[in-house]
A and B are shown apart, each in its own frame.
Chain A
Amino acid sequence: EVQLLESGGGLVQPGGSLRLSCAASGFTFSNFAMNWVRQAPGKGLELVSAISGSGGSTYYADSVKGRFTISRDSSKNTLYLQMNTLRAEDTAVYYCANFDWGYWGQGTLVTVSS
């Protein structure tokens, strides 16, 4: 059974940092690109960042470029999102997702507020 389990969300002050993790199981993690998608309260879906299977290629939405860093550790089957200089507008549920197979985690809530 495929599982994607996010962790690391929480309440952080503006300007602060968080690192999200996504533990993957049930498929060959290193073979697939992985993605972070966020959903602000009451809003739609936004692709925040993506990384190729090898980790050699990455994508960032303009809204997070220079502040967020995506990475992966295939030895641990884990995807990461390092989020720095957080802003109120980064408040959202963050999902990790494999679009090739349509697998999504349950999401982790990030709240940026003083």
Chain B
Amino acid sequence: EIVLTQSPATLSLSPGERATLSCRASQSVSNYLAWYQQKPGQAPRLLIYDASTRATGIPARFSGSGSGTDFTLTISSLEPEDFAVYYCQQRSNWPITFGGGTKVEIK
């Protein structure tokens, strides 16, 4: 099973700041890496798939990069609605696995 390790666990930032979230895989997942955003009481929302492709309707301030084992989700300038938990997911190998999440909180 591929283990995804997300860091940091918590990111404390102010609106307007840049957020950089990391996801590291225990073995190569090529570019089969997705990022989800989850707010309290809501289902996860797909932000990025195939490591760097934004899903429909996702603002351009969200970007993904990386391949192999190291991936990054960047939020260029945090909006108030971006404070949430972010999960990475790999679909390279079965079973599909998720990272433990990074909480982006207001500083």
Contacts and interface: CB of A to CB of B under 8 A. Distances in A.
B95 A59 contact: yes
A83 interface: no
Given A45-B87, A102-B49, A102-B55, A50 B96 contact: yes
**10 A-B pairs with least C-beta separation:** A102-B46, A104-B43, A45-B98, A44-B101, A44-B100, A47-B96, A102-B55, A106-B43, A95-B43, A107-B43
Q: How many B residues are at the interface, by size bracket?
A: 20 to 34
Interface of A: 35, 44-47, 50, 59, 61, 95, 99, 101-102, 104-107
B98 A47 contact: yes
Nearest to B42: A106
14 contacts: A44-B98, A44-B100, A45-B36, A45-B87, A47-B95, A61-B95, A95-B43, A101-B46, A102-B34, A102-B45, A104-B43, A104-B45, A105-B43, A107-B43
B25 to A, nearest CB: 16
